[in-house]
Amino acid sequence: MMGWIPVALLAVPLLGALLLVLSPHTFRPVLRAYGLFLSGATLALSLLLLVMFDYGRPAEVQFEVDQPWIPGLGLRLHLGVDGISLPLITLTALLTFLCFVYLCWGRARASSQFMQARPRALVFTLLVLEVGMIGTFLALDLLLFFIFFEIVLIPMYFLIGIWGGQGRRAASIKFILYTLLGSVIMLLGLLLVWAQTGTLDIEALSASHGAGMSRSVQILAFVAIGLGLAVKTPMWPLHTWLPDAHTEAPTVGSVLLAGVLLKMGTYGFARIAIPVLPEGAMAVAPWLGAFAVVGIVYGALACLAQRDLKRMIAYSSVGHMGFVLLGFATLTPVGINGALFANVAHGLITGLLFFLAGAVKERYLTVDIPALGGGLLATLPRLGSVLTFAAIASLGLPGLAGFWGEMLALFGAFQPANGLPRGLFLTYMVIGGLGAVLTAAYFLVMLSRVTHGRPPVAGAPGAAAPHAAGPDEGLSAPADDTGTPADLDDRLIRTTPDERPVVPLGSEPGEQPVTPTGSSGDRPAVPLGSTARHATTATLDPYTGGVVPQGPGGREPGSGRATPADDIRSYEVLAWTPLVILILLFGLWPGLLLSLTTPPVQALLGALS
């Protein structure tokens, strides 16, 4: 039996974290390598899982481990992998590893900010977080699932609360209280299932399709479990913790939050709520669909109103998760397949988007869209083009990963499961389609404001220049430094957007060296060699208060102009390339993922179809 792989997937990061606590000083000099090694080993194990997986029978649980843990509670250490959890496990291991790459590779500057502030604690937190995330996708026991579901709370709380932004305390508290309330209610639902059926085994419960539970009990349990999952997902109107948490979280926190933590909620629907409680799901599905489409439209409208780039991406997650929930609500193989696909795609795309937002924040010290002032494609062409790529992937351009999931979810709503009101779901489909259009709208508006347009002139107000290294942060910096009237500032913001033509690359005056950028709009993957070279020259210098000395002396705030060294750096290339490749891969070849999820989805819907 290959049961050791799931155990090792949990044991490697867990033991790594414990070692850090037990011998605090041993690993201090090699902390970066240590974190990279452990997350890399976990990734390798997950890849091994991917290789060893028997693709002939993805509906069955493989690599099963089943050991009693607490007989008094009937709690068993029951782990296993099937076609639904396999992609998510790999995604988790990948994203965690990429986060470590982003933090630890070489003498990365992003890392030095974090690694200076308590590096050991950061590595520890990320490793524990990884245990919880992978464990959630591995667990096949209701209580075990709940325990892993809870494990992520404390590390994420500290990740936001210690390494977060200005309002981190409120955001972290809001995050943990909100999600705990959800998960405690979920616990009540799980215990209700247990009290009725007498077993905690998810496999057995799924196979019995809700036998032994009356309709009213199933509805009650579904609502309780669904509430807990919906807070985590998050479903409108339970989403309000998400924007705050994302805005304040550090880059890696945002990436893992969007990329994996939200998936734990949706995974719960596919693993527990729908298969274990089919009648409950049938009764609640129209409501779930309604909240889902409200979430889609609400997320899109909220995005249109955002000035903060990170907050906008956070709200876009609400919309995307709306599509996922709509897919689940249809209770058809097509819809649920779409939901699971959108799930993975969202993890890749939004993870990449948050990496990019973090990169922008690091360079401009703000993610306020008006303050960025446009012209990113001209000033930082590579970063701008990757941002463009991620945004259009997120808005669901056919051919990229974001498209298929939403399309399938909407298609599922066109023909929902027997017993669900078709007219209602057709309405949902139409509204969801409108939401998709709005999604395109806000991403394009964002792109037009951030990447397009003329880059702010040197010394001009209203633009936070890259490497504005002054002590002031955010919006107040330009006005305070230059003393220009604020109305001028406003005018620039208003006229910068979309009407302006794209400034041709290379037509920039001044000190911007001409670099062979190629047609960067089409080719997101940046030539590795040139960036790596630039990056090494830039980052060999120690991190001194935010300025990398490129020319003689430090750059004055406001007078800075991006140089190639500010563009994508080597560790960023390393962290982002796999995501870009996977987005393209799943976009061009969706069958890769769908063939994996279809059989288990059909099995879990056995009672309904």
Partner 1 sequence: MIQQIDYFAIAPPLALALVAGLVLLLDAFLPARPRTKTGLGLVTLAGVLVALGFVIAQAARGGPPQSTFCVPPGLAGGPAQAAGLCSFVVDRFTLVFAGMVLVAAVVVVLMSMTELASGAIPVGEWYFLLLCTLVGAVTLPASRDLIMLVVALELVSLPVFALTAMKRYDGRSSEAAVKLFVVSVVSTAIMLFGVSLLYGIAGTVYLSRLGAVFSGRVAAPGMAGDAALATAQELPAVVTVGVVLVVAGFAFKIAAVPFHSWAADVYQGAPVPVAALLSVISKAAGFAGLILVLVTALSGQAATWTPIVAILAALTMTVGNLLAMRQSSAVRLLAWSSVAQSGYILAPLAVAATSGAVSASMAYLVIYAAMNLGAFAVVMLVSRTAPRNELDDYRGLMFRRPAAGIALAFCLVCLAGLPPGLAGLFAKVFVFREIIEGGSGWLALVMAVNTVIGLYYYAIWTARLFTPDGGRQLSRYRPPAAAWLAMGLALVAAVLFSIAPQLVLDMTSLSASG
Residue 491: CB minimum distance to partner 1, A = 42
- Distance CA(335)–CA(405), nearest Å, equals 9
Among residues 252 and 436, whose Cβ is nearest to partner 1?
A: 252
Among residues 74 and 521, whose Cβ is nearest to partner 1?
A: 74
If we measure between CA atoms, which residue out of 53, 61, 329, 2 comes closest to residue 204?
Answer: 61
- Distance CA(160)–CA(168), nearest Å, equals 6
Among residues 132 and 299, whose Cβ is nearest to partner 1?
A: 132
Among residues 225 and 568, whose Cβ is nearest to partner 1?
A: 225
Among residues 167 and 485, whose Cβ is nearest to partner 1?
A: 167
Whole-Å CA distances, 189 to 122, 227, 251, 566, 577: 34, 9, 34, 51, 41
Whole-Å CA distances, 187 to 78, 153, 180: 18, 15, 10
Among residues 162 and 503, whose Cβ is nearest to partner 1?
A: 162
- Write the burial class of residue 473 (CB in 10 Å: 0-12 exposed, 13-18 middle, 19+ buried): middle
Six-digit token string for 306: 């955002």
Residue 212: CB minimum distance to partner 1, A = 15
The secondary structure of 423-445, three-state, reads HHHHHHHHHHHHHHHHHHHHHHH
Among residues 156 and 383, whose Cβ is nearest to partner 1?
A: 156
Residue 547: CB minimum distance to partner 1, A = 25
Contact between residue 39 and residue 252 where contact means Cβ atoms under 8 Å apart: no
Region of residue 373 (phi > 0: left; psi between -120 and 50: alpha; otherwise: beta): left
What residue ranges bind partner 1 (CB under 8 A)? 21, 24, 69-73, 121, 128, 132, 143, 147-148, 150-151, 153-154, 157-158, 161-162, 169, 172-173, 176-177, 180-181, 184-185, 187-188, 191-192, 194-195
Contact between residue 274 and residue 208 where contact means Cβ atoms under 8 Å apart: no
Among residues 180 and 469, whose Cβ is nearest to partner 1?
A: 180
The secondary structure of 16-73, three-state, reads HHHHHHHCCCCCCCCHHHHHHHHHHHHHHHHHHHHHHCCCCCCCCCEEEEEEEEEHHH
Residue 62 β-bridge partners: 81
Among residues 128 and 285, whose Cβ is nearest to partner 1?
A: 128
Among residues 147 and 458, whose Cβ is nearest to partner 1?
A: 147
Residue 528: CB minimum distance to partner 1, A = 39
Among residues 69 and 543, whose Cβ is nearest to partner 1?
A: 69
- Write the burial class of residue 591 (CB in 10 Å: 0-12 exposed, 13-18 middle, 19+ buried): exposed
**Which DSSP category does 365 fall into?**
S
Region of residue 560 (phi > 0: left; psi between -120 and 50: alpha; otherwise: beta): beta
**DSSP conformation letters of 2-20:** -THHHHHHHHHHHHHHHHH
Q: Measured between alpha carbons, how far apart are the two ends of the chain, in Å? A: 33
Contact between residue 206 and residue 82 where contact means Cβ atoms under 8 Å apart: no
Residue 252: CB minimum distance to partner 1, A = 18
Contact between residue 564 and residue 534 where contact means Cβ atoms under 8 Å apart: yes
Give residue 84's Cα distance to chain centre.
Answer: 18
User: Dihedral sign, CA of 233, 51, 93, 578?
Assistant: negative
Residue 132: CB minimum distance to partner 1, A = 7
Among residues 185 and 312, whose Cβ is nearest to partner 1?
A: 185
Among residues 150 and 556, whose Cβ is nearest to partner 1?
A: 150
- Distance CA(1)–CA(8), nearest Å, equals 14
- Distance CA(234)–CA(241), nearest Å, equals 9
Give residue 12's Cα distance to chain centre.
Answer: 23
Cis peptide before 234 (omega within 30 of 0): yes
Among residues 147 and 290, whose Cβ is nearest to partner 1?
A: 147
Cis peptide before 370 (omega within 30 of 0): no
